[in-house]
Chain A
């Protein structure tokens, strides 16, 4: 049984939607309709969303549609889906057993060692490989995988090293597929629930996806880095029209329309608000940093199509519009409008070589993904340039895949990727498992600088050297604003040099030192009328030198 990740206690505001999604995902995983299916694999999931079509290709092939998947898509899917060590079921099995064998490798079964953990009737499989552990279940109407592995994912100010993924999809009746993709990263968790409806024989397929991303991320605030808890809701609605199959080499396989949106929500402000000093040149400005993020609102729409350029090359592209708006604390907002486009290329130049690439550009992300696979090895990498203040991230993964003897694929890549216009459990289940590329994988939030306000001033000096009998020019070590006036200033630590006094009302220090003293620190603090202590204190080191000799005499004229 899958174990849901521990939910950090910092996520203080559990969301109904999150619970609903989680419950739905759990229900899918527990569905006994066609027998349980669990796959455990290992690895990070650096480019999961972008690889959806490739993954689907694999799954579709696995479900026995007679459309074998390509080597490229398989390798890609393993990486994208985090299934480092995919377990392939034996080929030539009965109709309710499907293979995830390396596509495009006619001799794969002869070269890849058998999986030692083939259980029961072959629906439950497990494997260990250098990158992790995978457990898989493939049923007639249900697919479930789980993975645990290692990889490299570079996000701002953090290095993630582990990840787990849990996937499940099932048919509800013959025309509806529901699935979930739940990924657990070191810093956050990502849950996507998909529902697909295919109208029989019409070629129309509808998709509704909901996403919930939650966790923590470091942000560089003016007061320093802080780890902020966030959540992000996403949705996607799309419709797809599947064109009749064509025997031409280059043909349009499907067209569609999609609309999506997302909204980030800041759940905590770490240890904020924090005060920090900003040097104005003449004094320090005491700034209050509430550690507030501008929570981005994303909306996009696109037209989609899938084209088989050649029998071994399939491209899926989307062109549309995306806008990302950041509202700020001062009432202003930043609206970023961008043309949205996404291209996924799947190419099998040779049966043993798979090449894939994807590029997504929009208002929130510019993500480039590349993957190459040769035999059991594949290397994938992605670079995501966050747009309009959204954080960057990048990742890379080298994967070695163990495969069990599988069924030879008899069809080409283009055939494998095209969905059926009628009932098509395999591609629907495959689609129900994947994470739509339109749903952002990054928190759409950035530091709201307008929330930073000045709440006082402080002297720039850190040490003061005085002299007995030399009057101190009135200065104010600490001046606070905000809070409930009036402020009361006081010395919280140390003692002012003899002769100096702190004006409790104004915070000014005046006087004439009367006694020499060595360096001693004095800390100035303030509290407001509600006895709330001001968060910023100022410590000065006072040294008082002895007065120069001064003689008094009489003289005659």
Chain B
């Protein structure tokens, strides 16, 4: 389960770093065309009902900035800022609808840009639900979790799973109770789940990563409020899983040409695959009705980013 989530995040970051439309290679939850049920038995992505991102800054430049360290901040002096919100602007990303960000918007000088960066809150919020074709199990709590074996699952009480209010972290075990489970969606508990990035990896702390996108280096950093490389994060169930992480900064190669005729810029996200249904196949040491390898639903996390920066 952790491995799958790690792959999903990397893919998501890869997509983000590409900076252009990059199809996610993650499995997609394709409902059965006849029944409309999800038949996947492994992680898959679906279209969430709601998808939120919190944006602090967007900038354009023509070279990678020096990587941040724990003692020196990342330097964006070579970039031009096109959007800035000191408190961050949380915006719901809707399919096909451009949602303007609220903050300071600055026209970038006309010219060609080869790099863009996006400074985000280290979380993505999704509100999603899914209907499966077969029984699924749900992790109830961690009290009976021993040596990788879950002992306490709620049996399938219906075909519907939905996200609930709570947080999940990229590094660490998934928390319990982040999904609802029933014959119908209980709208009273149907809510947004926050997916926090406390590490780029899912099994260790990792605050920076470089990628080669078409031979060009792209980078992602988790930084603190001083824009220095973060530190002190810990895996769940740590009491302080985020450490001093304040932002996630993604720097991606782009090919953008801004002219005087352009009136705006859009950051597009592929919300069609905006949420990942994290599934597991735990072994059962005694739960009645559960067969080893049956599918359990952990949570609705964030799907891969697929940002496309375009000017219009």
**Residues of chain B with a CB closer than 8 A to A557's CB:** 21, 95-96, 268-272, 306, 308
| Closest Cβ neighbor of A511 among chain B residues | B109
Within 8 A of B (CB), among A543-557: 547-557
A467 at the interface (CB under 8 A from B): yes
Q: Is the CB of B306 within 8 A of A550?
A: no
Please report the C-alpha to C-alpha distance between residue A551 and residue B111 in the assembled complex, in whole angstroms. Answer: 17
Q: Enumerate chain A residues within 8 angstroms of B97, measured Cβ to Cβ.
A: 555-556
* A40 at the binding interface (Cβ < 8 Å): no
Main secondary structure of the interface of B (DSSP, over half): strand
> Are the C-beta atoms of B268 and A556 separated by less than 8 Å?
yes
State whether A551 touches B95 (Cβ < 8 A): no
Q: How far is the CB of A481 from chain B (nearest CB, A)?
A: 32
Per DSSP, chain A at the interface is loop
Are the CB atoms of B106 and A512 closer together than 8 Å?
Answer: no
**Which of A468, A471, A554, A555 has the largest number of chain B CB atoms within 10 A?**
A554
Point out the residues of chain A lying under 8 angstroms from B274, CB to CB.
Answer: 556
Q: Are A550 and B262 in contact (CB under 8 A)?
A: yes
Residues of A within 8 A of B271 (CB): 556-557
A553→B91 CA distance, assembly (Å)? 9
Evaluate whether A467 and B260 lie within 8 angstroms (CB atoms) in the complex, with A550-B105, A557-B306 already known: yes
B268 proximity list for chain A (CB < 8 A): 554-557
- Shortest B3–chain A CB gap in Å is 28
Stretch binding the partner chain, chosen from B50-58, B145-153, B195-203: B50-58
Contact with B along A463-501 (1 / 0, CB 8 A): 000011111000000000000000000000000000000
Interface hits, B84-135 → A, CB 8 Å: 91, 93-101, 103, 105-111
Q: A553-B101, A553-B264 are in contact. Are A512 and B94 (CB under 8 A)?
A: no
A470-B260, A548-B260 known; A554-B101 Cβ under 8 A: yes
Q: Is the CB of A551 within 8 A of B269?
A: no
Check B25 for interface membership: any CB of A closer than 8 A.
no
- Bound: A469/B81 CA distance, A: 12
Query: Once bound together, how far apart are the Cα atoms of A372 and B174, in whole Å?
Result: 127
Whether the pair B264, A552 counts as a contact (CB closer than 8 A) is yes
CB proximity to B under 8 Å, residues A524-557? 547-557
- B265 interface contact, C-beta 8 A: yes
Using Cβ atoms and an 8 Å threshold, which residues of chain A touch B7?
A: none
Interface flag for B82 (CB, 8 Å): yes
Q: How far is the CB of B110 from chain A (nearest CB, A)?
A: 6
Pairwise interchain contact A555-B109, C-beta atoms closer than 8 A? no
Q: Tell me the complex Cα distance, A554–B101, Å.
A: 7
Minimum distance in angstroms from A472 CB to a CB of chain B: 10
Please tell me if B214 contacts chain A, counting CB pairs below 8 Å: no
A549 contacts which chain B residues (CB < 8 A)? 105, 107, 263-264
Interface contact A551-B100, CB-CB below 8 Å: yes
Knowing A469-B110, A556-B93, A557-B270, the reply to whether A551 touches B306 (Cβ < 8 A) is no
Give the distance in Å from the alpha carbon of A552 to the alpha carbon of B312 in the complex. Answer: 10
Interface flag for B83 (CB, 8 Å): yes
Instruction: From A547, A553, A554, A556, give the contact of B107 (CB < 8 A).
Output: A547
Closest B residue, CB atoms, query A546: B107
Which residue of A468, A550, A552, A553 has the most chain B CB atoms within 10 A of its CB atom?
A: A552
- Does B266 touch A at the CB level, under 8 Å? yes
In the complex, A470→B97 CA distance in Å? 29
In the complex, per-residue mask of B258-294: 1 if CB is within 8 Å of any chain A CB, else 0? 0010111111111110100000000000000000000
Shortest distance in angstroms between A554's beta carbon and chain B's nearest beta carbon?
5
B105:A551 contact, CB within 8 angstroms: yes
Which of A470, A512, A549, A551: most chain B Cβ within 10 A?
A: A551
CB contacts (< 8 Å) of A468 on chain B: these are: 107
Measured CB to CB, the closest approach of chain A to B47, in angstroms, equals: 9
Q: Which residues of B contact A548 (CB under 8 A)?
A: 107, 260, 263
B96–A552 contact, CB under 8 A?
A: no
* CB neighbours of B264 from chain A (8 A): 549-553
Task: Kindly list chain A residues whose C-beta atoms are within 8 Å of the C-beta of B260.
Answer: 467, 470, 548
Report Cα–Cα, A553/B263, bound state, in Å.
11
B108: nearest chain-A partner, CB-CB? A469
A556/B82 in contact, CB under 8 A = no
Contact with A along B293-312 (1 / 0, CB 8 A): 00000000000001010000
The docked-state distance in angstroms from the alpha carbon of A552 to that of B60 is 12
Residue in contact with B111 in the complex, picked from A471, A547, A555, A556, CB distance below 8 Å:
A471
Cα A551 to Cα B100 with chains together (Å): 7
Question: Could you tell me if A554 and B53 are in contact, using CB atoms closer than 8 angstroms?
Answer: yes
Assembly CA distance A308 to B94 (angstroms): 119
Nearest A-chain residue to B259, judged by Cβ: A470
B residues less than 8 Å from A470 (CB atoms): 109-110, 260
Chosen A-B contacts, 28 in total, with CB atoms closer than 8 Å, are A469-B108, A471-B109, A471-B110, A548-B260, A549-B105, A549-B107, A549-B264, A550-B263, A552-B58, A552-B103, A552-B105, A553-B91, A553-B98, A553-B100, A554-B91, A554-B266, A555-B93, A555-B94, A555-B99, A555-B268, A556-B51, A556-B268, A556-B269, A556-B271, A556-B274, A557-B95, A557-B271, A557-B272
The 4 closest A-B CB pairs, nearest first, are A551-B264, A556-B271, A550-B107, A556-B95
Contacts A469-B109, A550-B82 aside, 10 further interface pairs with beta carbons under 8 A come to: A469-B106, A469-B107, A550-B106, A552-B58, A553-B266, A554-B93, A554-B269, A556-B269, A556-B270, A557-B270
